Amino acid sequence: MMNRNIVYFAVFFAMLVFVGMFQSWTVAFSIFNLCLISAIMALGVNIQWGYAGLFSVGTTGFVALGGVAAVVTSMPPVQEAWTTGGARLLTALVFAGATIVISVLLWKRMTKGRIRGFVVAATLIIGFFIFRYLFDPAVAEIESVNPAAEGYLGGLGLHIIFSWIVGGLFAAGAAWMIGKVALGLRSDYLAIATLGISEIIIAVIKNEDWLTRGVKNVNGIPRPVAYEVDLQQTADFVRAADWLGIDTVLASSLYVKFSYGILFLIVLGLIIWLSELSLNSPWGRMMRAIRDNEEAAAAMGKDVTKRHLQVFVIGSAVCGIAGAMLTSLDGLLTPASYQPLRFTFLIWVMVIVGGSGNNWGAVLGGFIIWFLWIEVEPLGLWIMEWVTSGLEDGSDLKDHLRDSAAHMRLVTMGAILLLVLRFNPKGLIPEK
Amino acid sequence: MSFLIGKNMTGGYGGANIINNCTISVDLGQIAVIVGPNGAGKSTAMKAIFGMLDLRGGSVSIDGRDITGLSPQDRVATGMAFVPQTQNIFVSLTVEENLEMGAFLRMDDIRSTLDQVYELFPILADKRKQRAGELSGGQRQQVAVGRALMTKPKVLMLDEPTAGVSPIVMDELFSRIIEISKQGISILMVEQNARQALAIADVGFVLVQGENRYTDSGKALLQNPDVRQSFLGG
Amino acid sequence: MDLLNALVVLANFVIIPGIAYGSTLALGALGITLIYGILRFSNFAHGDTMAFGGMFAVLGTWWLQSKGISIAPLPTALLVIPFAIVLMILFLLFCDRTIYRYYRKVKASPIILVMASLGITFIMNGLVRFIIGPGERRFADGTRFLISARDFKAMTGLNEGLAIRLSQVITFVAAIIIVAALFWFLNKTRTGKSMRAFSDNEDLALLSGINPEKVVTIVWVLVAILATVSGTLYGLDKTYKPFTYFMLLLPMFAAAIVGGLGNPVGAIAGGFVIAFSEIFVTYAFKKFFGYILPKDMLPSGIIQIISTDYKFAVSFTILVLVLLFRPTGIFKGQSI
Identify the CATH number of the domain in which residue C298 sits: 1.10.3470
- pLDDT (tens digit per residue) in C171-202: 999 999 999 999 999 999 999 999 999 998 88
- pLDDT (tens digit per residue) in A385-421: 777 777 777 667 777 777 777 778 888 888 988 999 8
Is the same domain home to A48 and A85? no
Task: Let me know if residue A430 belongs to a domain.
Answer: no
Given an 8 Å threshold on Cβ–Cβ distance, is B91 in contact with C201?
yes
Task: Let me know if residue B100 belongs to a domain.
Answer: no
Helix, strand, or coil (residue C137) = strand
C334–B contact, CB cutoff 8 A: yes
Q: Which residue of A lies nearest to C119 if distances are taken between CA atoms? A: A414
- Percent share of chain C, pLDDT over 70: 99
Across chain A, mean pLDDT equals 86
pLDDT at C333: 46
Residues of A in contact with C319 (CB under 8 A): 192-193, 196
- How far from the centroid of its chain's Cα atoms is residue C334's Cα? 21
Q: Total domain count for chain C?
A: 1
Is the same domain home to A38 and A63? yes
Query: Per DSSP, what are the bridge partners of residue B206?
Result: B35, B214
Given an 8 Å threshold on Cβ–Cβ distance, is A53 in contact with C111?
yes
The answer on pLDDT for A2 being more than 70 is no
Q: What span, in angstroms and rounded, lies between the C-alpha atoms of B203 and B177?
A: 15
The nearest CA of chain A is from the CA of C262 a distance in Å of 13
Domain limits at B204? 1-79+155-160+187-234
Across chain B, mean pLDDT equals 87
Nearest CB among C121, C249, C319 relative to A193 is that of C319
Query: Per DSSP, what are the bridge partners of residue B22?
Result: B9
- Strand pairing class (B155-159; B80-83): parallel
Chains A, C: CB contacts under 8 A, how many?
Answer: 131
Q: Are A228 and A252 in contact (CB under 8 A)?
A: yes
Residues of A in contact with C47 (CB under 8 A): none
Average pLDDT over residues C46-66: 93
Q: Total domain count for chain B?
A: 1
Average pLDDT over residues B188-216: 87
Is the same domain home to A50 and A29? yes
- How far from the centroid of its chain's Cα atoms is residue B106's Cα? 21
Q: Which of C188, C200, C328, C332 to mutate: most B Cβ within 10 Å?
A: C200
Q: Which of A192, A347, A377 to mutate: most C Cβ within 10 Å?
A: A192
Task: Let me know if residue B223 belongs to a domain.
Answer: yes
Most trustworthy range by pLDDT among A343-347, B22-26, C218-222: C218-222
Average pLDDT over residues A139-157: 80
pLDDT at A237: 84
Given an 8 Å threshold on Cβ–Cβ distance, is C193 in contact with B100?
yes
Q: What span, in angstroms and rounded, lies between the C-alpha atoms of B63 and A187?
A: 48
Contact between chain B and chain A (3 or more Cβ pairs less than 8 Å apart): no
Q: Picking from A143-152, B112-121, C327-336, which range would have the lowest pLDDT averaged per residue?
A: C327-336
The nearest CA of chain C is from the CA of A162 a distance in Å of 30
The answer on pLDDT for B230 being more than 90 is no
Considering only CB atoms, which residues of chain B are within 8 Å of chain C? 72-73, 76-77, 82, 84, 87-93, 97, 100-102, 104-105, 131, 147
Average pLDDT over residues B157-167: 86
- Strand pairing class (B80-83; B31-35): unpaired
Given an 8 Å threshold on Cβ–Cβ distance, is C115 in contact with A421?
yes
Given an 8 Å threshold on Cβ–Cβ distance, is A193 in contact with C122?
no
Among C165, C101, B142, C130, residue whose Cα is nearest residue A422: C101
Helix, strand, or coil (residue C18) = helix
What is the length of chain B?
Answer: 234
pLDDT at A291: 83
Contact between chain C and chain B (3 or more Cβ pairs less than 8 Å apart): yes
Task: Let me know if residue B74 belongs to a domain.
Answer: yes
- pLDDT (tens digit per residue) in A240-287: 888 888 888 888 888 888 899 999 999 999 999 999 898 888 888 888
What is the length of chain C?
Answer: 336
Domain limits at A102? 78-153
A300 conformational bin, left if phi > 0, alpha if psi -120 to 50, beta if neither? alpha
- Report in angstroms the alpha-carbon separations of A113 from A118, A119, A132: 9, 10, 29
Residues of C in contact with B77 (CB under 8 A): 209
- pLDDT (tens digit per residue) in A71-103: 988 888 888 878 888 888 888 999 999 999 999
Given an 8 Å threshold on Cβ–Cβ distance, is C203 in contact with B82?
no
Domain boundary among A153, A170, A187: A153
Among A60, A66, A31, A67, residue whose Cα is nearest residue A346: A60
A228–C contact, CB cutoff 8 A: no
Instruction: State phi, psi for C126 to the nearest 5 degrees.
Output: -65, -45
Banded pLDDT at C273 (limits 50, 70, 90): very high
Chains B, C: CB contacts under 8 A, how many?
Answer: 60
- pLDDT (tens digit per residue) in B89-110: 999 899 999 999 988 888 888 8
The nearest CA of chain A is from the CA of C39 a distance in Å of 13
Task: Let me know if residue A429 belongs to a domain.
Answer: no
Residues 271-330 of C with CB under 8 A from B: none
A347–C contact, CB cutoff 8 A: no
Provide long-range contacts, Cβ within 8 A and 24+ apart, for B161-166.
B161/B83, B161/B189, B161/B191, B162/B191, B162/B192, B162/B193, B162/B196, B163/B85, B163/B192, B164/B137, B165/B137, B165/B138, B165/B141, B166/B137, B166/B138
Given an 8 Å threshold on Cβ–Cβ distance, is C193 in contact with B77?
no
- pLDDT (tens digit per residue) in C236-252: 888 899 888 988 999 99
Residues of C in contact with A352 (CB under 8 A): 115
Residues of B in contact with C195 (CB under 8 A): none
Residues of A in contact with C123 (CB under 8 A): 410-411, 414-415, 418
Q: Which of C104, C111, C113 to mutate: most A Cβ within 10 Å?
A: C111
C265–B contact, CB cutoff 8 A: no
Residues of C in contact with A50 (CB under 8 A): none
Average pLDDT over residues A162-187: 89
Across chain C, mean pLDDT equals 88
Q: What span, in angstroms and rounded, lies between the C-alpha atoms of B2 and B63?
A: 8
A192–C contact, CB cutoff 8 A: yes
Which chains have at least 3 CB atom pairs separated by less than 8 Å from chain C?
A: A, B
Task: Let me know if residue A416 belongs to a domain.
Answer: yes
Identify the CATH number of the domain in which residue B67 sits: 3.40.50.300
Is the same domain home to A70 and A87? no
pLDDT at C335: 53
Strands (E), chain B: 4-11, 19-26, 31-35, 55-62, 65-66, 80-83, 155-159, 186-190, 203-208, 211-216
C161 conformational bin, left if phi > 0, alpha if psi -120 to 50, beta if neither? beta
Q: Which residue of A lies nearest to C300 if distances are taken between CA atoms? A: A133
Q: For residue B220, which amino acid is it?
A: A
Give me the sheet containing B203-208, strands edge to edge. B80-83, B155-159, B186-190, B31-35, B203-208, B211-216
Q: For residue C21, which amino acid is it?
A: Y
A308–C contact, CB cutoff 8 A: no
The answer on pLDDT for A168 being more than 90 is yes
Residues of B in contact with C335 (CB under 8 A): 92
Contacts of residue C36, Cβ cutoff 8 Å, sequence gap at least 6 = C42, C43, C256, C261, C262
Q: Are B72 and C206 in contact (CB under 8 A)?
A: yes
Task: Let me know if residue A389 belongs to a domain.
Answer: yes
- pLDDT (tens digit per residue) in C100-136: 999 988 888 888 898 899 899 989 988 998 888 888 8
Nearest CB among C196, C203, C209 relative to B93 is that of C196
Exposed / middle / buried, residue C14 (Cβ in 10 Å: 0-12, 13-18, 19+)? middle
Q: What span, in angstroms and rounded, lies between the C-alpha atoms of C327 and B174?
A: 40
Q: Picking from A35-39, A403-407, C10-14, C288-292, which range would have the lowest pLDDT averaged per residue?
A: A403-407
Q: How many CB atoms lie within 10 A of CB B220?
A: 14
Task: Let me know if residue B139 belongs to a domain.
Answer: no
Is the same domain home to A84 and A204? no
Banded pLDDT at C283 (limits 50, 70, 90): confident
Task: Let me know if residue C69 belongs to a domain.
Answer: yes
Q: Which of C281, C304, C323, C324 to mutate: most A Cβ within 10 Å?
A: C323
Given an 8 Å threshold on Cβ–Cβ distance, is C313 in contact with A203?
yes
Given an 8 Å threshold on Cβ–Cβ distance, is C196 in contact with B147?
no
Among B70, B64, B22, residue whose Cα is nearest residue B46: B22
Q: Which residue of A lies nearest to C252 if distances are taken between CA atoms? A: A192
The answer on pLDDT for C302 being more than 80 is no
Residues of C in contact with A407 (CB under 8 A): 126-127, 129-130, 134
Contacts of residue B214, Cβ cutoff 8 Å, sequence gap at least 6 = B204, B205, B206, B221, B224, B226, B227
pLDDT at A1: 55
Q: How many CB atoms lie within 10 A of CB B134?
A: 13
Q: What span, in angstroms and rounded, lies between the C-alpha atoms of A16 and A7?
A: 14
Domain limits at C290? 2-325
A7–C contact, CB cutoff 8 A: no
A410–C contact, CB cutoff 8 A: yes
Q: Total domain count for chain A?
A: 2
